[in-house]
């Protein structure tokens, strides 16, 4: 009955977002993908094929072909025939959807097999899957946070972590400046002192939560340092300090064998969260930890208990992706990803652009100006390249950037093509 009033409210809020420059606007709809034969065969391009273009994407209502530089499917597995076959076979065997939540009748053999594979892949006692990594974070953090918990979080943590902390009721929340280990240590030291002198709120458990890879910048949390600092102070709290990393962008894209930031920093956190929907090319999220923690989460986490899991066929597809990742081909794909990333980063630097160097395929081009970022994004689009422009208020003023994401299905020619376009932009930005 009052929908008209709600319509007015929503319209004025949308107007406010537009004025702030925060409106995302219409979505680009991918209508078709063309992939060269080597992609269809599940191979990487040979030397000759590396001289031609990789897959191209077509948008609805637009005949131009685009090079997709803003996909998280880093290893190119969403187009891999083995993954596609695994998913198709899953549909044949179990149908298209789970039909119920896990504890009713929604647990299928592929779900259980996938959980075992994920636990083994990350060398943990146990793992459980959720419908998405967002749902995993929302399902894990509030379940482990109570009125005696202190939560400490990196300033640039993903929105799912921010929201999960907001929707829980800790004794205290603290945020440290991005990657600033001195501040993390200072916070822990302050609370440890307070615990000794019985002043301040009674903190029994501390959760230190971080992204593994930070998706806007492609930089990573120094898990080894974080865990080292936490060890130093854990005896000051009755239930110790628990380290949690969401490595959704790291798993499958970072570290020699794709085990993410833990592998890169040679250090394991207590609880690892990641997605099946980025480098693994499928969909869904998961948490890997000790058997009692997973058992407890299964029994208590509302996002697990009251929401359908991924489809059995998606679970089959994810197992297919892990099979590839653990094979020689997985190592080759990771190596290809690294070499294309290095080529692109070096090319950017040679052209005089600012970037944040690193092995992760997220490569930011720091523009540091909102207007120029929009101009460059338009230029890239006009030249057949889809990338993501990040401007204020998504990133702080002065940190405006264009985020490029390299993909193992791309070729050397693709990377050189982007660099050519960027070079032309420097000469003739308005053409």
CB of 153 to ligand PLP, least distance (A): 12
Looking at the DSSP bridge assignments, the partners of residue 160 are none
Instruction: Report, in Å, the least distance between residue 64 CB and ligand PLP.
Output: 27
Q: How far is the CB of 44 from ligand PLP (least distance, A)?
A: 26
By CB under 6 A, is residue 132 in contact with ligand PLP?
yes
- Which CB atom, from 115 or from 246, has the smaller least distance to ligand PLP? 246
Q: Which is nearer to ligand PLP, 76 or 260 (CB)?
A: 260
Among 80, 102, 158, 220, binds ligand PLP (CB under 6 A): 158
Nearest distance from C-beta of residue 132 to ligand PLP, angstroms = 3
Q: Which is nearer to ligand PLP, 117 or 379 (CB)?
A: 117
Among 133, 244, 348, 406, binds ligand PLP (CB under 6 A): 133
Q: Which of residues 223-252 bind ligand PLP (CB under 6 A)?
A: 246, 248-249
165 alpha-carbon distance from chain centroid: 18
Q: Which C-beta is closer to ligand PLP: that of 386 or that of 412?
A: 386
Binding mask 1-40 for ligand PLP (x = CB under 6 A): ----------------------------------------
Nearer to ligand PLP, 280 or 366 (CB): 280
The window from 127-135, 259-267, 355-363, 367-375 that contacts ligand PLP (CB under 6 A) reads 127-135
Q: How far is CA 96 from CA 7, 79, 204, 312, 379, in A?
A: 36, 19, 45, 8, 41
- Told to check if 303 binds ligand PLP by CB under 6 A, we report no
**Identity of the residue, 246 or 262, whose beta carbon is nearer to ligand PLP in the bound complex:** 246
Structure-token pair, residue 104: 């009713």
Question: Is residue 281 part of the contact set for ligand PLP (CB under 6 A)?
Answer: no
Q: Which stretch binds ligand PLP (CB under 6 A): 131-139, 309-317, 321-329, 331-339?
A: 131-139
The rounded distance, in Å, linking the Cα atoms of 362 and 218 is 5
Q: In what order do the strands lie in the sheet with 401-405?
A: 354-355, 362-366, 401-405, 388-390
Measured distance CA(401)–CA(242) in Å, rounded = 33
Contact 177, 233 (CB under 8 A): no
Distance CA 223, CA 247 (A): 11
Which strands sit side by side in the sheet containing 285-289, from one edge to the other?
126-130, 285-289, 271-275, 241-246, 205-211, 149-154, 172-176
Window 193 to 212, contacts with ligand PLP (CB under 6 A): 211
Provide the residue count of the chain.
Answer: 431
Q: Which of 160, 210, 301, 405 binds ligand PLP (CB under 6 A)?
A: 160
Q: Is 255 left (phi over 0), alpha (psi -120 to 50) or beta?
A: left
Strand blocks (E) in 177-326 = 205-211, 241-246, 271-275, 285-289
**Residue 304 in the binding site for ligand PLP (CB under 6 A):** no
Q: Per-residue x/- mask for ligand PLP, residues 255 to 274, rule CB under 6 A?
A: --------------------
Q: Quick one: which of 71, 210, 215, 405 contacts ligand PLP (CB under 6 A)?
A: 215
Q: What are the catalytic residues?
A: 215, 249, 278
Q: Which of 168, 261, 275, 373 touches ligand PLP (CB under 6 A)?
A: 275
Nearest distance, CB of residue 246 and ligand PLP, angstroms: 4
Instruction: Count interface residues toward ligand PLP (CB under 6 A).
Output: 13
In the complex, minimum distance from the CB of residue 48 to ligand PLP, in angstroms, rounded to a whole number: 35
Of the two residues 154 and 174, which places its CB atom closer to ligand PLP in the complex?
Answer: 154
Contact between 277 and ligand PLP per CB under 6 A: yes
Kindly list the strands in the beta sheet with 385-386, ordered across the sheet, starting from the edge strand earlier in the chain: 30-34, 56-59, 65-68, 385-386
Alpha-carbon distance of 279 to 360, in angstroms, equals 12
Token pair for residue 103?
């504890």
C-alpha 394/C-alpha 411 separation (Å) is 31
- Using a CB cutoff of 8 Å and minimum separation of 24, what contacts does 26-35 make? 28/59, 28/386, 29/59, 29/60, 30/57, 30/58, 30/59, 30/60, 31/58, 31/59, 31/60, 32/57, 32/58, 33/57, 33/58, 33/79, 34/58, 34/65, 35/79, 35/409
- Conformation bin of residue 42: beta by default, left when phi > 0, alpha when psi is -120 to 50: left
Binding stretches for ligand PLP (CB under 6 A): 132-134, 158, 160, 211, 215, 246, 248-249, 275, 277, 285
């Amino acid at each position: 009955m009052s929908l008209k009033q709600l319509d007015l409210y929503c319209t004025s809020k949308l107007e406010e977002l537009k004025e702030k420059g925060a409106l995302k606007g219409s979505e680009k709809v991918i209508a078709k993908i063309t992939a060269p034969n080597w992609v269809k065969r599940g191979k990487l391009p040979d030397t000759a094929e590396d001289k031609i273009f990789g897959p191209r994407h077509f948008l609805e209502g637009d005949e131009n072909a685009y090079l997709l530089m803003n996909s998280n499917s880093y290893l190119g597995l969403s187009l891999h025939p083995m993954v596609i076959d695994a998913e198709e076979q899953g549909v044949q065997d179990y149908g298209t959807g789970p039909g119920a939540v896990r504890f009713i009748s929604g647990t299928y053999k592929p779900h259980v097999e996938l959980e075992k594979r994920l636990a083994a892949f990350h060398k943990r006692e146990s793992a459980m899957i959720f419908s998405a990594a967002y749902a995993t974070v929302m399902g894990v953090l509030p379940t482990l946070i109570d009125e005696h918990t202190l939560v400490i979080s990196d300033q640039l943590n993903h929105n799912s972590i921010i929201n999960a902390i907001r929707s829980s009721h800790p004794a205290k929340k603290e945020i440290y400046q991005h990657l600033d280990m001195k501040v993390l240590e200072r916070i822990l030291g302050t609370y440890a002192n307070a615990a000794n002198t019985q002043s301040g709120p009674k903190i029994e458990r501390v959760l230190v939560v971080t992204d593994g890879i930070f998706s806007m910048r492609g930089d990573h949390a120094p898990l080894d340092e974080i865990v080292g600092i936490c060890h130093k102070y854990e005896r000051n709290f009755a239930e110790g300090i628990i380290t949690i990393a969401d490595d959704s962008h790291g798993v499958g894209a970072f570290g020699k064998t794709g085990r993410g930031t833990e592998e890169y920093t040679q250090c394991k956190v207590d609880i690892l969260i990641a997605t099946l929907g980025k480098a693994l090319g499928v969909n869904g999220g998961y948490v890997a930890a000790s058997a009692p923690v997973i058992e407890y989460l299964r029994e208590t986490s509302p996002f697990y208990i009251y929401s359908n899991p991924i489809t059995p066929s998606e679970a089959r597809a994810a197992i297919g992706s892990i099979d590839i990742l653990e094979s020689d081909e997985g190592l080759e794909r990771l190596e290809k990803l690294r070499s294309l990333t290095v080529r692109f980063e070096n090319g950017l630097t040679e052209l005089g652009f600012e970037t944040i160097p690193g092995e992760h395929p997220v490569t930011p081009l720091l523009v540091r100006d909102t207007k120029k970022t929009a101009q460059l994004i338009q230029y890239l689009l006009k030249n057949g390249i889809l990338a993501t422009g990040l401007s204020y208020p998504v990133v702080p003023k002065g940190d405006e950037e264009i985020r490029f994401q390299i993909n193992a299905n791309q070729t050397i020619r693709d990377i050189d093509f982007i660099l050519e376009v960027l070079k032309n932009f420097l000469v003739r930005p308005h053409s």
